[in-house]
Amino acid sequence: MTQLILFNKPYGVLSQFTDSAGRATLGDYIGLRHVYPAGRLDRDSEGLLLLTDDGAIAHRLTAPTRRTWKTYWVQVEHVPGERELQALRQGVALKDGLTLPARARLIDAPPLWPRVPPARFRASIPTQWLELCIREGRNRQIRRMTAAIGFPTLRLVRCAVGDWTLEGLAPGEWRHVATASSAAPRERRDPWQAPPPRGRRRRNGRIK
Q: Of residues 42, 53, 96, 163, which has the active-site annotation?
A: 42
| Percent of the chain as helix, strand, coil, to the nearest 5 | 15, 30, 60
Contact status, residue 204 vs residue 13, Cβ threshold 8 Å: no
- Can you point out the beta strands (E) in 23-92? 36-37, 46-52, 70-77
* Alpha helix stretches (DSSP H) within the chain: 55-62, 82-90, 141-148
The yes-or-no answer on residue 190 being catalytic is: no
Q: Which of the residues are catalytic?
A: 42
